Every structure is written in structure tokens, then in C-alpha cells.
Amino acid sequence: MKCNVSYKYMFIAIGILCPFFSACNYADGEGSGSENAVYMETPDNKGIANFTLEPDGGTTYLTPRLANISQSPVTIQVSYDKEALDKYNKANGASYEPLPPSAFKLADAEGNELSGSEGIRVPAGDFSAKIMVKVGQLDSKDFPANKKYAIPLSITGASKYSLIPSQRSAVLLLNRSILSSVAKVSGGEGIRIKPAGMHTKAEWTIQMSAIYSSLTRSNLTTAYLSNGTGGEFYTRISSTAGIQVKNGRDGDDTWTQIPLQAGKWLHITYVHKDKKTTVYVNGKVQKVFENSAITFGENSMIIVGNSGYRNDYLREIRLWDKALTESEINDYLYLPMDPETPHLISYLPLSKETGIKDLKAPADMENVTTKARIEYVENVKFPADELVIVNQE
């Protein structure tokens, strides 16, 4: 029989289900109870879901589902599953920590709390139920802002029907809303950083977050490398052509050709490995450039920006001695870093508390200089598309 799959409910396991279920149209009212299975619905059916958490906590929902409508009630057991998070971290090079069960509660759609032994009930004539996940306020001492947390939940059983093993789990990735101070920069000759120990590294990642007041300025650079021992690394940024990676020449093909907006946070990442430089903006690939090997010398410096700063905002300048993966880039996108994170070579939060200090530099070493005029703006909220200042009154 033809598989009439609704786009809304299409999932990866379709290839598994269709050969076994003759009526594989997933909860459209057709098919018999014997042709049924249980799974956890997540966006794109990848087993993960993002959960933006405000400072005072928040609520989100998960949907355990049946492949077809059941003519009798079905109780689905959902449990805390740290192993699911371990698998996610290993597969994606991530470092999420499990939020302990004491920090959140599970409830049905009406808000009735579920105990560990209770399941969620799918009524007869239906195919899904909602589980409410409620997280309270997280104390910053117990749950530091520079650590990433997740809630791993899995379907462990059902009163009827078998489970789809590849789709029984959901890992809720907590995107915590934070307040931070950021640097407001004008004039100067950029921020010059001299990292230690990079001259032996074959790969690297440079990251920065910025709001540019305009993107029509001539020769406006994001970051570049001086005194390198390999090919040139110089960048420019424009509203129309996006970001340029200059490696010995100019030309239209040296730009990403993806327009960018002034007045918006741009989380910019450059990843260099195997004679390729990949540009990311806000966690998404803009372009992969084929170029020469770009390496650091003992006296190399990273310069972030140039004399073109005009009331632009900067934060979170980072240098890594490894090529970050896309998952790692998104994991680290806006939250402050733990300075002890492996492979982090230079780290400038650019906050009021730290100023322009590189938190990875030895205590007796001043490796950052600038002639720019810098002031700090406090109570800036993340994540946010624009500059959002929260009134603390």
C-alpha cells in the first residue's frame, strides 16, 4: 500500500516502519492498532530540542506519539536517561552536563505533576500526549553560566505497542538567558592579541561577537593575522557581499556573498584546517574557502578590527588551537566560556569585570593592547538578535 505520509509528522524511521506497517500514514486516522508503534517527536526528528530558559526558569513541552491512532488508551513511560546525553555528547563533540532531576519537574498538559512511576496517557481515539517540562530558577553558584546543561529523557516502555529504538529519546538543550556587559568600541587600531604556543599548530579557530553600527564603511575588518608564517589571513565585512577572506588576492569569489545586517549580533567564527577556511555567522556556514596553509609564527598577533570602529559592540574574542565543529560552535555561541576549557588559547570576554585582559595569558604577561576608546554597557541580554539592555530597577 502507498505510504501517505504527512509532512508535519514525517520522521526518520519511515524507512523502518513502512515495510512493516501497511497503513503507514501516521496518525491520520487510518491503519489498525496492530500496525502501531511508540516514539518521541522532536524537531526534524533528530532527538534534540532547544529550550530557551529565562533567569527565573521556564516551561517547554515534549510529545510522545503513536504512529497511528489507537482505539484504546495507551500509557507511555518517560524517564530520565543520562546515557542518551552521553551518546549525544560523544557523537557531537559536545560537553553538556545533565541537569539533575531535582532541578526540573514533569507534568501532563494540565500541569499535574508526574511521579517517577507514572506515565503519560494517550486517550483512546488519539495519537499523542504532551509532557510539560518545568525548570525553576537555576542558582548561578550551583549552575554556573559558563557551563552548558541538558535534560535527557527517554521513552522506556508503553502499555501497548513496541518502541522505535532510534526515536525513543529527546535531549533538551538548555539555552540559558543571561545578562552580561559588553564593550562599546570607537576609533583606535583594533585590539591586538599575541597568543602563546600557536606556532606549532596546524589548525585553529578564531571567534568574536559584534554588532556593527554600519556595514558600509570602507575596508572594515573583523579580524586578521599579522606575522604569520603561512599564507595571508585578512578579512573584511560588508552589508551586501558578507565577509571576505583574503588569502593573497581580492575578487568576488573571496567573499561569502551572503548579505549581513548592521545593528544585529553577528557571532563570527573562522575555522582553518587542511588549507581550508570555513566562515560561520551565528552558527551557520557561510562559505568554505580553498586557500593556502595559514599558520602562526612565534611573533604572530591576531588583530580584531581596525581604525574603522564607530560605536560598535564587541564581546567574546576566542582563539582555539583546534578546528571547532559546527556542533561545538553552536554549543559555545553566546555563553561565556570556562577559561579552563581544553584547546582554548586566548580568551577575552570584553566585559566590565575583565576589561581587555586575556584570561588565558600568564599572570605576569600583558599580551593585549589597543588604542581604541572602550566603554562598557551593562545588563545586555543573551540570546538576542539585537542589543537588548534589561532595566534592573
Confidence of residue 34 (pLDDT cuts 50, 70, 90): low
What is the model's pLDDT at position 393?
62
What is the model's pLDDT at position 230?
84
**Please, what is the average pLDDT of the chain?**
89
Residue 77 has pLDDT above 80, yes or no: yes
DSSP 199: G
Instruction: Tell me the pLDDT tens digit for each residue of 85-135.
Output: 999 999 988 889 999 999 999 999 888 898 766 789 999 999 999 999 999
Higher pLDDT, 365 or 210: 210
Least confident of 17-26, 155-164, 249-258: 17-26
What is the model's pLDDT at position 45?
84
Determine the average pLDDT of the residues in 356-376: 94
Q: Which of 9-23, 40-54, 288-302 has the highest mean pLDDT?
A: 288-302
Distance separating alpha carbons of residues 286 and 281, to the nearest angstrom:
7
Confidence of residue 18 (pLDDT cuts 50, 70, 90): very low
Determine the average pLDDT of the residues in 239-257: 96
Neighbour count for residue 279 (Cβ, 10 Å): 23
What is the model's pLDDT at position 348?
98
Determine the average pLDDT of the residues in 37-44: 92
DSSP 338: P
Determine the average pLDDT of the residues in 336-341: 92
Higher pLDDT, 298 or 265: 265
Pick from 320, 383, 312: nearest CA to 347: 320
Residue 63 has pLDDT above 80, yes or no: yes
Residue 29 has pLDDT above 70, yes or no: no
Determine the average pLDDT of the residues in 157-182: 93
Residues above pLDDT 90, as percent of the chain: 73
Residue 21 has pLDDT above 60, yes or no: no
What is the model's pLDDT at position 4?
45
Greatest Cα pair distance, the chain, in angstroms, is: 74
What is the model's pLDDT at position 308?
82
What is the model's pLDDT at position 146?
82
Residue 31 has pLDDT above 70, yes or no: no
Higher pLDDT, 125 or 200: 125
Residue 32 has pLDDT above 70, yes or no: no
Three-state secondary structure along the chain?
CCCCCCHHHCCCCHHHHHHHCCCCCCCCCCCCHHHCEEEEECHHHCCEEEEEEECCEEEEEEEEEEEEEECCCEEEEEEECHHHHHHHHHHHCCCCEECCHHHEEEEECCCCECCCCCCEEECCCEEECCEEEEECCCCCCCCCCCCCEEEEEEEEEECCCEECHHHCEEEEEEEECEEEEEEEEECCCCEEECCCCHHHCCCEEEEEEEECCCCCCCCCCCEEEECCCCCCCEEEEECCCEEEEECCCCCHHHECCCCCCCCCCEEEEEEEECCEEEEEECCEEEEEEECCCCCCCCCCEEEECCCCCCCEEEEEEEEECCCCCHHHHHHCCCCCCCCCCCCEEEEECCCCCCCCCCCCCCCCCCCEEECCEEEEEEEEEECCCCCCECCCC
CB 98 within 8 A of CB 85: yes
Rounded (5°) CA angle 239-388-208: 50
CB 207 within 8 A of CB 316: yes
Distance separating alpha carbons of residues 226 and 243, to the nearest angstrom:
19
Residues above pLDDT 70, as percent of the chain: 90
What is the model's pLDDT at position 15?
42
Q: Is the peptide bond before 383 cis (omega within 30 degrees of 0)?
A: yes
- The secondary element (H helix, E strand) that includes residue 169 is strand 169-176
Distance separating alpha carbons of residues 205 and 187, to the nearest angstrom:
26
Residue 254, SS3?
helix
> pTM here?
0.78
What is the model's pLDDT at position 365?
87
What is the model's pLDDT at position 11?
36
What is the model's pLDDT at position 44?
82
Question: What structural domains does the chain harbor?
Answer: 7-176 (2.60.40.1740), 179-382 (2.60.120.200)
